[in-house]
Amino acid sequence: MAKTLPFSIDFSGCLADTGAECGALLDQTRSALARLRGCQADGTLPLLRLPAARDDLAALEPLVLRWRDEASDVLVLGIGGSSLGAQALLELRDPEDRGPRIHTPDNVDPVSFRRLVDGLDWAGTRVLAVSKSGGTVETVAQLLLVLDRMEASLGRDATAARLVVVAEPGNSPLRRIANDYGVETFDHDPNVGGRFSVLSLVGLLPAMLGGVDAVAIREGAAAVLDQAFAGSDPAEIPAAMGAAATAALMQHKGVSQAVQFGYVDRLARFGEWWRQLVGESLGKQGIGLAPVFARGATDQHSQLQLYLDGPRDKLVTVIEPPAEQQPAWRITPEAATRYGVPYLAGRSLGDLIAAEARATAESLIAEGRPTIRMKLDAVDGRTIGALMMTAMIETILLADLLAVDPFDQPAVEKGKILTREYLAAAG
C-alpha cells in the first residue's frame, strides 16, 4: 500500500479465511467511491468539501482570539456528535498551552454537572452551546441552568456577552434563546450530520479555543480524500479495504463486533467518537456492528482473554503507538538487574507499551482472530484528521455494502419523543 498517509495499516491478519470474499466486496466499493467523488465535486455531501475549506476557519478567528485572551474557562455544552469530536481533538492540546480550560460536560448527571458549574468563576467563563437541531434536550436543559446561574451572578447583559450558540437555521429552542439574548450565533450546516461534523466548526471551534491546529487536522483529512478519489486501486485505499474486509467477516464469519484496541491514551476520546460513528451509522434493520473501545495496555488485563479465547465474533484493530517524541525516561540497568527484571534494563515506558501492542496483535493473529494492525507516524493534528476521515469514509462504504443508510438514526428518535412525553407527564 502506497505510503501517503500518516499511518501504515496491515490487513493481512484478517484475510486468512475471507480473501476471495473480501476481493469481491472490494470491487464493489469502486462504484461507491465514484459516487462519493461526484458528491465532493457537486457539493451534495458537504462533509467532503470541509477538508479544503479555510474561509470558515478565518471567520472563527476573532472569537477564538478574544476568548483565548479574556477567558479562564470555556464551557462547551453539547452531547453526542456535538461533543465527542471536539473532545477527541482537544486531546491534542499542548499541556503548556496558556489558553482557557475547556470543559465538555456531555452528560446530564446532576451530581457531576453541579460539581463542575459550582467551581466556575462566571466572570471568566464563556459558554458555547452546540446542537445541530437546536433542540437537543440535554443541551437545552444544561444551557437554561447555566443562564440562570450566570444571570444571578453577572446580570443579563454580561451573561449575553459570554454566550455563543451553534445550531442549524430555524425556530429551535437554542435559536430562540440566542435571539432573546441577542448573542453571537454560528450556523451548523443542516447537511452535515452530527456524527460527521467533527471537521466543521462543531469540532474545530472548541479545538481552536484549546490552541489545537485546525488547519493540520483538515490537511490530514484532505490527504485521505486525495488518495481515495484519485482513481487508485481500492486495495490501496485503507477505507475501502477496511469496509470490504469487515463486510466479508460479517457476512461469512459471523463477526458482529469491532474492537478498537488503542495503545495511545490521547486517542481514547477518538475511540469514543468512533463508537458513535459506527454504532449509529450501521445499526439498522437488524444489521450492525457493535463498536467496542479497548485501551492498551490497561485492557489486556480485563478484555484480552475474551478476545483471544472467547467467541469468534470480533474484528480487532490494534493501534500501535509511534516512536517516542521526547527524551525517553529509562529504567537503569542496575535497578532492573537488582530486582530481577533484566529485560527492563535501559527500557522506557514507550518501549514497554510498543512491545505490548505488538504482542497483542501477534497473539490475536496466531489464534486465528481477525486482526488489523495500524501503526501511527505521530499523534498530531494531521494524523487525527486522517484517522477521522478514514473512519468516516470506511463507515459510508461499509453501509453501502450492507445496504443501510449511514446518515439517519430513526430508532433513536423514538426514545427522544418518549423522553419529552415522560417529562411533560411528570410536570
- Asked whether residue 224 is assigned to any structural domain, the reply reads yes
Instruction: Indicate whether 254 and 358 sit together in one domain.
Output: yes
DSSP, collapsed to helix, strand or coil, labels residue 131 as coil
Instruction: Indicate whether 24 and 80 sit together in one domain.
Output: no
Give the domain extent around 194: 49-214
Overall number of domains in the chain: 2
Instruction: Indicate whether 337 and 265 sit together in one domain.
Output: yes
pTM for this prediction: 0.96
- Asked whether residue 146 is assigned to any structural domain, the reply reads yes
The gap from C-alpha 96 to its chain's centroid, in whole angstroms, comes to 23
Residue-level pLDDT, tens digit, the chain, 427 residues: 446 899 999 999 999 899 999 999 999 999 999 999 999 999 999 999 999 999 999 999 999 999 999 999 999 999 999 999 999 999 999 999 999 999 999 999 999 999 999 999 999 999 999 999 999 999 999 999 999 999 999 999 999 999 999 999 999 999 999 999 999 999 999 999 999 999 999 999 999 999 999 999 999 999 999 999 998 899 999 999 999 999 999 999 999 999 999 999 999 999 999 999 999 999 999 999 999 999 999 999 999 999 999 999 999 999 999 987 777 899 999 999 999 999 999 999 999 999 999 999 999 999 999 999 999 999 999 999 999 999 999 999 999 999 999 999 888 888 888 888 988 997 5
Q: Is 301 a catalytic residue?
A: yes
Q: Among 179, 214, 249, identify where a domain stops.
A: 214
Instruction: Indicate whether 173 and 89 sit together in one domain.
Output: yes
Paired residues of 163 in beta bridges: 127
DSSP, collapsed to helix, strand or coil, labels residue 335 as helix
- Asked whether residue 416 is assigned to any structural domain, the reply reads no
Inter-CA distances, 242 with 112, 187, 287, 315, 343, Å: 38, 33, 17, 11, 36
**Phi, psi (rounded to 5 degrees) for 286:** 75, 5
Instruction: Indicate whether 23 and 66 sit together in one domain.
Output: no
Instruction: Indicate whether 74 and 168 sit together in one domain.
Output: yes
Instruction: Indicate whether 229 and 306 sit together in one domain.
Output: yes
- Of 3, 96, 301, 334, the catalytic one is 301
Instruction: Indicate whether 34 and 68 sit together in one domain.
Output: no
- Of 21, 272, 280, 394, the catalytic one is 280
Q: Among 164, 179, 214, identify where a domain stops.
A: 214
Q: Among 170, 194, 214, identify where a domain stops.
A: 214
Under a CB-based contact definition with an 8 Å cutoff, are residues 85 and 192 in contact?
Answer: no
Instruction: Indicate whether 27 and 85 sit together in one domain.
Output: no
Instruction: Indicate whether 144 and 177 sit together in one domain.
Output: yes
Which DSSP letter does residue 189 get? P
Inter-CA distances, 240 with 143, 195, 226, 328, Å: 41, 20, 14, 37
Q: What is the CATH number of the domain that holds 194?
A: 3.40.50.10490
Q: Which three cell numbers stand for residue 411?
A: 430508532
